Each structure stands twice: as structure tokens, then as C-alpha cells.
Amino acid sequence: MRRCTLFYALLSIVLALTSAVGCREKQQITGSTTENTGKPISISGAYALYPMVVRWSEEYKARHPGIQFDVQAGGAGKGMTDVLAGAVDIAMISRSIKEVEVEQGAVPFAVCKDAVVFVVNAQNPVLDLLSAHGLTKEQLARLFLNPEPITWGALLGTGHTERVNVYTRADSCGAAEMVAKYLGVEAQEDLHGIAVNGDPGVAEAVRRDPLGIGYNNIGFAYDLTTGVAVSGLQVVPLDLNGNYQLDPDESFYATKTDIVAAIAAGRYPSPPARALYLVTKGSPDPVEADFIRWVLTDGQAFVDEVGYVSLPETVLQTELGRLP
Amino acid sequence: MNSTGNLAPNRGASRGTFIQYRARHVISWVTGILFTSLSTLIVILVPALLGALLVRSWTLVSAIPLPRLLIGTEWRPLSGAFGFAPFIAGSLWVTAIALAVAVPVALLGAIYLAEYAHPRTRTSLKPLIELLAGIPSVVYGLWGILVIVPVVRQLAAFTRTDNPTGYSVLSGGLVLAVMVIPFILALSEEVLRAVPQGLREATLALGATQWEVVKHVLLRQARSGIIAAVVLGFARAFGETLAVLMVVGNVVQLPRSPFDAAYTLPALIANNFGEMMSIPLYDAALMTAALILFLIVFSFNFGARLVLRRVGGTDDVSQ
């Protein structure tokens, strides 16, 4: 009995002490520390940028032992929320930064480019037609902006009676915003369809549904190692001039290398192509700034390799100039 | 001041010195203060939470009266329409399906474990069930996508639903059911085991069969505890976020059949928190969603208490 009381008394004291220490530590973190305290650089946000940042953090860690990273994907919305709340050091953002976010202290640095592509299931009954003709902006708008169900036949003017199952993103993200902007509307909430969580979630949903159509960042639509579309998925070409034919200059979807070249040359429309940003709250502290500086200089060597598009040198220089 | 009252003065005082005696009293006094303040903290927590939610949601609730928010079906934050009915309906649908599946299974399982199972079976199964209750919800969600959604898709093919994808209220409900079964089962089993052995023996002595004992004595005795377990299960199911949002389809509409996609209150908060800061009232709208969630769980709890009082809850084993 007595030992029990003593134990609880001690436990309470220990708890009280640790929570006090915890508070002190927090204050230290939010205060501007100049030396690296051994705390990992925490990064969260866009799925689009996740594979790239993971690679960058590995390469940077190899060059700077003692620096640790904690990288998590959860959508651009979550990244922005986290960084503005001080929960993480850097956010990965896959859309333009909003005025309101800048007012709250968001400082964006453009680091590379990628694009969102539309994907269907590799077993899709009209796959040949889709590959031969692509889809026009109007056809995609009919799918994503209109909640009424439609058959693949009605969409393509053929006799197919299978329904189109449209998939969109549930978590707030840059990819959905890019698709919305491409289709001429404002925001993610204007897109209709079954909403699933995360970039991998959409890919998985379409991979399991022969009648599905969705959209993914190229990093999730194409296989990193083979360079072609992820098994079970097929990327839908965009019929850019709306002549219901896929012309030679519109055909660049076979491999990741092809589409990356098209994005770099501006042949793939923007949006859905867009710049990707690392965002800090206020000016980055020396540790963060050093990492971002490395990303904008030596780190650019890995952009091609991981399958992203480099920004023009002038843009990189501008971004470098904005670092403290 | 010694509120712990677990230090018998005749013990130890004879053994220890005066200093030790004083020290022990100081320690017990301090722990008394600590425990009192901790329990006060818990009591204060509920009004504090409610207050915070009210304050943060006030800008919306003062602009649009709560009843209108609750029955509004239009959700277009960009044009200032905040109708919560689809989310409330979605949450209720999913929870109702989950409980309809989970309560019978959990209750029968609890009766089996408490009354019929061999002690060895019970001791080996209990930790398993508790393990199930501790699996993170993201794992259940993933399992839902890989297993439940395809099954529901097969089922949907036989219906005339216009959502053949399998991402639906039914999937959400089934995943939730699997999540709350271990929870309700473990609690109910504890409650049943707490019924005094003498009652069982007395009833058996009157010539009752084992099932009659369960039906007429145990369930009656443990009724309030079982209702409490179900209410806790409801609260947990109603507030479950991740596992449900992974399989429910997240479409803002009033679901009309189990195969329709829907959107739940927790998913609304989780998907959009911190976004759209440029839209006035959006933040307040999410806080209102949290407030509605809180109020529904609270009123359900409160209702269950009233029911218990009406049926005259026997010795409340759950307390």
C-alpha cells in the first residue's frame, strides 16, 4: 500500500518534471537556434514532391553526417497546415502559394517541376480508343465536373455500355487543384467522383477498377525503375488541339523520360504541369537554408534521375538569391 | 488533509523515526493534492472542450443559425453554403451499419467467452482480442481497401446502384464493425464475468439451463454494463476518422442506400483542416463539424444514461 503511494508520488513528480522539460525544449525549438541541435529536419506535404525530397534528404545526409530527416507525405494541404502551425520545419507544396498563406508567414522556394496525368486501368474496355485518340479537355470536364454518371460509349461516341467510375482525391492536395484549374474551375471541391485518400490511394483504386479513371502525379503514375506506367495503370494522352486524333506532337506518354521531356519543353500544358515548392514559415533558419541551398545547386543533379523536371537556371538563381 | 487514507498510523510509526513518519505524511498529503487536481482536471476537460469549440465555431453559427446548418444539404464553401446534413447522415449511416453488425457478434462472443468457453480457450483468446482492439486504424483502412471494398463491389454488381465502385457506406460500416467488435466484446465479457457466481448457481439449482441463466439472469444483471459498452463502441465508431475515410468514398451527398458513397464528419475535418484559409468561415465550419460530432456523441451518452435510469440499472457494474 505504502509502496504504491510512494510509487505514484514519484511517478507524478517524474511526469511533472518531464512535461516541464518538454515545454522548455519546445521553446528552444521555436526560438531561433543557430547551431544544429541534433533535431531532425521535419518535412511534410505533397505526395508529388515526396519521392524527390526523400532522395534529396538521403543524398544530403550522406554529405552531412549528423543531420537527420523526417519526411512524410500527406497532401499539400496538410503540409501547409503543419508548417504554419510550427509542427514541421519545411512543407512540400505542389500548387501555387496563396495570398493568405504568405500573410501567415509562408516563404516558398521553387525547387523543380512535375505534372499531373490522367490514368485509367490497363484492362479498360476502350483502352485502344483512348490510346489512339486521347481525351479532350471537354471530355475530361464532362467526367470530373458533372456528377451525372456516363458510359464510356457515350463519352467516346461508341456503343460501349460500361459506366465510367471517376476517382478524385479526398485529402486536400495540389494535384486536384491543378486538375480543377486545367478544366477551368477554381478548386478541388468542384471535382466530382469517388474521393480516395492520397496519391497512392487513387492509383490503387484505378488499378483495381477496370472502368475507373483518376489522376496522379507522374511520380505515382510511372514506375521509377522501369520508366513505363505502373503495372495495371495506363496514362491517358491529352488531345490538346481537340481534333479527336492523337497527333505525333501530342504523343509523349510511353515512358517517364518522354513526358518529362515534354513538360520541360512546355508541350504538356501547365496546369496540370506546375512548379513544386519547399515552404518554410518565415525566413528559413541556417540549417534549413543550407539544405534548400544545396537542393537548388548540387541537388539539381538528381532531379532528372528521379524523374522530375529541372527549373530554368534563371529561376534557380532567383530562388537562391532569396535565401538568407 | 490526508485524503488518501491508506496509511494506517499504527503501522510503520513504531518502526520508523519521527522524520520518516513526517516524510510519509508529507508524501501522502502531496499525492492527495495531486490526485484531487488530476481528477478535477478531467472534470473540467469536457466544459473546456465544449467552450473552445463553441468559441471557434461562433462566427459561422452566429451568421447561419444552427438548425439551418444541420438540415442544409448544400456544401459549397466557396459560395458560402455550409449544409452539414450530408456529413451527419453519412456518419449516422456508417455507424448504424457498424453497430448492427458488431453488437450481435460482440455480445454473442462475449457470452461464449464468459460462460461457455474453456478457461484455457478464454485465456488464449482474450489477449488476441485485446490485440485486435489496439491495431492502428490506418491498418484497418488499408485492409478495407484491399479486402472489403472488392467484396462490396461484387455485391454492388447485383444491385441497381449508380455507384459500382465499392467505396461506400457499407464498406465504411463493415470496416468499422471489425474495429469495434473487439472493443465491445472485451468490455461486455468483463461485465458478464463480474456477475456474482452465486446468482448463477442459484439459478442452476432451480433447474434452469445454462442458456436460461444467461438470458434471464446474466443479461439482466449486466444490462447496464453492456449498454455502456455499446455506447462507448458507438462513440468510438462515430468518431473514427482514417479507416472510414479510406473506404467511404468521400462524396458529399445524402446516402440513399448502403451502396452509395458518403462523407463523414470526422473525414470532413481531417481532409480539410488548415486548407482554404482564404475562405471566410471555412475554419469556423470545420469547428462546427467538430462541435456537432461532440454534441451527437454527448447526447447519445446522455440518452443512454436516461434509458439506464428508466429501466432501473441494477448494480452498475460499469462504474
Q: 3-class secondary structure for chain B?
A: CCCCCCCCCCCCCCCCCHHHHHHHHHHHHHHHHHHHHHHHHHHHHHHHHHHHHHHHHHHHHHHCCHHHHHHCCCEEHHHCEECCHHHHHHHHHHHHHHHHHHHHHHHHHHHHHHHHCCHHHHHHHHHHHHHHHCCCHHHHHHHHHHHHHHHHHHHHCCCCCCCCCCCCHHHHHHHHHHHHHHHHHHHHHHHHHCCCHHHHHHHHHCCCCHHHHHHHHHHHHCHHHHHHHHHHHHHHHHHCCHHHHCCCECCCCCCCCCCCCECCHHHHHHHHCCCCCCCCCHHHHHHHHHHHHHHHHHHHHHHHHHHHHHCCCCCCCCC
- Chain A CB contacts of B246 under 8 Å are 196-197, 201
pTM equals: 0.78
Q: Does B245 touch chain A (CB under 8 A)?
A: yes
pLDDT value at residue A32 = 38
Task: Count CB-CB contacts under 10 A for residue B241.
Answer: 18
- What would the grid cell of residue B16 be? 520508523
Which of B24, B31, B245 is the closest to A170 by Cβ? B245
Signed CA dihedral, B242, B247, B251, B253: sign only:
negative
Which position has the grid cell 520541360?
A264
Which of A149, A189, A195 is the closest to B249 by Cβ? A195
Based on the number of CB atoms within 10 Å of its own CB, is A226 exposed (0-12), middle (13-18) or buried (19 or more)? exposed
CB A95 within 8 A of CB A207: no
pLDDT value at residue A28 = 37
Return the DSSP state at A308. Answer: -
- Chain A CB contacts of B11 under 8 Å are 2
Residues of chain A with confidence (pLDDT) below 70: 1-38
Based on the number of CB atoms within 10 Å of its own CB, is B9 exposed (0-12), middle (13-18) or buried (19 or more)? exposed
- Asked whether the beta carbons of residue B6 and residue A1 sit closer than 8 angstroms, the reply is yes
pLDDT value at residue A187 = 81
Query: What does each of the 319 residues of chain B score in pLDDT, given as a tens digit?
Result: 444 445 445 554 455 677 788 888 888 889 999 988 888 888 888 888 889 888 888 888 888 888 888 888 888 887 778 889 999 999 999 999 999 999 999 999 999 999 898 989 999 998 888 888 888 888 999 999 999 999 998 888 888 777 888 899 999 999 999 999 998 999 999 999 989 999 999 999 999 999 999 988 998 888 888 888 898 888 888 888 889 988 998 888 898 888 989 999 999 888 887 665 656 688 888 889 999 998 888 888 888 888 777 765 554 444 3
pLDDT value at residue B15 = 56
* Largest separation between any pair of C-alpha atoms in chain B: 84
- Asked whether the beta carbons of residue B149 and residue A186 sit closer than 8 angstroms, the reply is no
CB A172 within 8 A of CB A197: no
DSSP-derived 3-state class of residue A12: helix
Residue whose C-alpha is closest to residue A108's, from A292, A278, A306, A310:
A278
User: Looking at chain A, which residue has its C-alpha nearest residue B23?
Assistant: A6
| Helix, strand and coil in chain A, % to nearest 5 | 45, 20, 35
Residue whose C-alpha is closest to residue B71's, from B292, B241, B303, B237:
B292
pLDDT value at residue B2 = 47
Answer left, alpha or beta for residue A255, where phi above 0 means left and psi between -120 and 50 means alpha.
beta
Secondary structure E strands in A218-269: 233-236
- Distance in angstroms (rounded) separating the CA atoms of residues B264 and B241: 8
Based on the number of CB atoms within 10 Å of its own CB, is B226 exposed (0-12), middle (13-18) or buried (19 or more)? buried
**CA B219 distance to own-chain centroid:** 21
> Three-class SS string for A175-205?
HHHHHHHHCCCCCHHHCCCEEECCHHHHHHH
- Asked whether the beta carbons of residue A194 and residue B150 sit closer than 8 angstroms, the reply is no
Condensed to tens digits (0 to 9), the pLDDT of residues A93-124 reads: 988 888 888 888 899 999 999 899 999 999 99
Interface of A with B in 64-103 (CB under 8 A): 77-78, 80-82, 84-85, 98-101
Return the DSSP state at A151. Answer: B
C-beta contacts of A293-299 below 8 A and 24+ residues apart: A293/A320, A293/A323, A294/A56, A294/A60, A294/A63, A295/A56, A295/A60, A295/A111, A296/A109, A296/A111, A296/A320, A296/A323, A299/A56, A299/A59, A299/A60, A299/A111
Respond yes or no on whether the N-terminal peptide bond of residue A272 is cis (omega within 30° of 0).
Answer: yes
Q: Does B272 touch chain A (CB under 8 A)?
A: yes
- Chain A CB contacts of B27 under 8 Å are 5-6, 9
pLDDT value at residue A76 = 85
- What would the grid cell of residue B114 be? 464468459
